[in-house]
Amino acid sequence: MTAEKLKIALVAHDACKPALVEWAKTHADFLENVEIFATGTTGGKLQDSNPNFSVHRFKSGPLGGDQQIGAMICEGKLDALIFFIDPLSPMPHDVDVKALTRLAIVYDLPMASSAATANFIVEGLS
């Protein structure tokens, strides 16, 4: 019997999508062996950057993707959340972002909001 793959959500605001893609390339050896769950555009960019990634794409964040990932957190179906948040841009769907990060805290899910903290999560799960 094989061990179940880790399940990690990767999300990024528009201005942070390139940084998340670059971070993912740096950690491709790790991410090629996990199931990635991502909001729409972010998931497409990740899949385009590495066809070996197993990316399950949800709706765009403002169209419900954040809530879909939140539901996975509530159901205990994720091992970590990596959400590159842009602190310098206005967020019209700020309530969705707060709800998602709140759920990660409530359910004690490892969560990173930058490359530096995401590196710690990868090191801890490797």
DSSP H helices, the chain, are: 17-26, 28-31, 40-49, 65-74, 94-106, 115-125
- What local confidence, expressed as pLDDT, does residue 1 receive? 42
**CATH class (in words) of the domain with range 7-125:** alpha beta
User: Where along the chain do its domains lie?
Assistant: 7-125
- In the chain, which residues have pLDDT < 70? 1-3, 91-93
Task: Give the tens place of pLDDT for each residue, 33-69.
Answer: 999 999 999 999 999 999 999 999 999 888 889 999 9
Where in the sequence numbering do the catalytic residues fall?
66
Question: Edge-to-edge strand order for the sheet containing 35-38?
Answer: 54-57, 35-38, 7-12, 80-84, 111-112
Plot region of 38 (φ>0 → left; ψ -120 to 50 → alpha; else → beta):
beta
